[in-house]
């Protein structure tokens, strides 16, 4: 590990020198590429330098203990040594996490798809509440949420909503939200006070850019039609709604939220790129393919990653066994405890895999 860290530190110094060279400074493309590589290595190098400082401090404290005769000074050195050893152990663990190969999609924006599953109208109402939850969380992170497509239910819920979440690191924090979310509560329409169980599926995909996925125009059939549902005078009068069909994969995307056909087409292509990029990722990594299939499943009640129990004010993430009796706060977008716990859990899993590969 330390040999690798020495190599990273040497590369970081090389990049630092390059950022000051006239050749790099005069070429904006090279400068941006170099600055990005430099910033990616910075957290590891800073942590490694802290680790080396701590190791030096430990060596000095041990020397003092070996040569010191004054009882008070010896006690001080022992206390300082204990603190340094505790800190160096923590920093070493943090370094191991930083050395885990980074998901190349972590910094990307997100295409978020939420669909009502089992439970009819109640499922559509909860889908709308989940979308609000993620929107509030995005707001707390200073991200922007742009709705790409919606399909409303007759009771004011959402059968489906597709949105773009725009912000640095959005995918890194939302990628573990994909799966079946189960709600247990007494619906407003329930006259006998019985608790009902409904499900909503959530899919989280990194937003693909043009450089990530190339779409041949000849492979896409574009149909236009009159939009339906709420929307004012343009509804059912202009052909503003757009349906894209990617012929090689038979992937279909529709968008009708905007009054402008051009804007609907742009949004539809954004979703299409994300879906095709996800398919490409699945081809490259079979493990991700299994994860994607398990993420959405069929929407059945048994395929759940998280349960929201309203009568008990309880939220449970079944993957990590974390339960919080703070349902109101979670539904208001306070998701960070789950985000942090899931990130820590999966980082630990990756560390085990790395250790197993080295063994």
Same domain as 174, residue 36 = no
Same domain as 114, residue 70 = no
- Give the number of residues written for the chain: 359
How far apart (Å, rounded) are the C-alpha atoms in residues 39 and 26?
19
Q: How many domains does the chain have?
A: 3
Identify the domain containing residue 6 by its residue range.
Answer: 2-98
Q: What is the pTM of this model?
A: 0.68
pLDDT (0 to 100) of residue 286: 61
pLDDT digits (tens, 9 = 90+) for 59-74: 988 888 888 778 888 8
Same domain as 164, residue 36 = no
Same domain as 222, residue 257 = yes
Q: Is 188 exposed, middle or buried (0-12, 13-18, 19+ CB in 10 A)?
A: exposed
Same domain as 146, residue 248 = no
Same domain as 204, residue 239 = no
Across 179-313, where does the E strand assignment appear? Answer: 179-185, 196-206, 220-225, 241-246, 251-255, 306-309
pLDDT (0 to 100) of residue 299: 47
Is 327 or 277 the better-scoring residue by pLDDT? 327
Same domain as 45, residue 150 = no
pLDDT digits (tens, 9 = 90+) for 159-176: 999 999 999 889 999 999
SS3 (DSSP) at 111? strand
pLDDT (0 to 100) of residue 234: 43
Percent of the chain with pLDDT over 90: 32
Q: Of 98, 130, 163, which closes a domain?
A: 98
CATH code, domain carrying 20: 1.20.58
- The single-letter DSSP state of residue 143 is -
Same domain as 128, residue 47 = no
Cβ atoms within 10 Å of 281's Cβ, excluding its own = 19
* Mean pLDDT of all residues in 13-25: 88
């Amino acid at each position: 590990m330390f040999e690798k860290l020495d190599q990273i530190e040497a590369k970081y110094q090389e990049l630092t020198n390059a950022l000051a060279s006239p050749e790099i400074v005069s070429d904006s493309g090279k400068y941006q590429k170099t600055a990005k590589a430099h910033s990616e290595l910075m957290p590891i190098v800073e942590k490694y330098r802290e680790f080396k400082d701590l190791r030096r401090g430990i060596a000095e404290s041990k020397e003092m203990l070996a040569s010191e005769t004054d009882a008070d000074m010896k006690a001080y050195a022992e206390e300082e040594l204990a603190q340094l050893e505790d800190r160096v152990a923590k920093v070493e663990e943090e370094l191991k996490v930083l050395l885990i190969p980074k998901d190349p999609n972590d910094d990307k924006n997100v295409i978020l798809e939420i669909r009502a599953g089992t439970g009819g109208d109640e499922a559509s109402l909860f889908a709308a509440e989940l979308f609000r939850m993620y929107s509030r969380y995005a707001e707390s992170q200073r991200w922007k949420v742009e709705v790409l497509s919606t399909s409303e239910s007759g009771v004011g819920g959402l059968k489906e909503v597709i949105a773009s979440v725009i912000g640095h690191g959005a995918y890194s924090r939302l990628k573990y939200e994909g799966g079946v979310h189960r709600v247990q509560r007494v619906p407003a329409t329930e006259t006998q006070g019985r608790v009902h169980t409904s499900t909503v599926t959530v899919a989280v995909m990194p937003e693909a850019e043009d450089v990530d996925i190339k779409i041949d125009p000849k492979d896409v059939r574009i149909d236009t039609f009159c939009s339906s549902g709420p929307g004012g005078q343009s509804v059912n009068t202009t052909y503003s709604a757009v349906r894209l069909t990617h012929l090689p994969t038979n992937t279909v995307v529709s968008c009708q939220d905007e009054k402008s056909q051009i804007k609907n087409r742009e949004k539809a292509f954004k979703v299409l790129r994300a879906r095709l990029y996800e398919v490409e990722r699945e081809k490259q990594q079979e493990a991700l393919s299994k994860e994607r299939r398990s993420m959405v499943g069929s929407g059945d009640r048994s395929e759940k990653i998280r349960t929201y129990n309203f009568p008990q004010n309880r939220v449970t993430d079944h993957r990590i066994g974390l339960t919080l009796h703070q349902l109101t706060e979670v539904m208001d977008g306070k998701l960070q405890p789950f985000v942090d716990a899931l990130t820590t859990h999966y980082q630990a899993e990756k560390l085990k895999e790395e250790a197993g590969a080295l063994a």
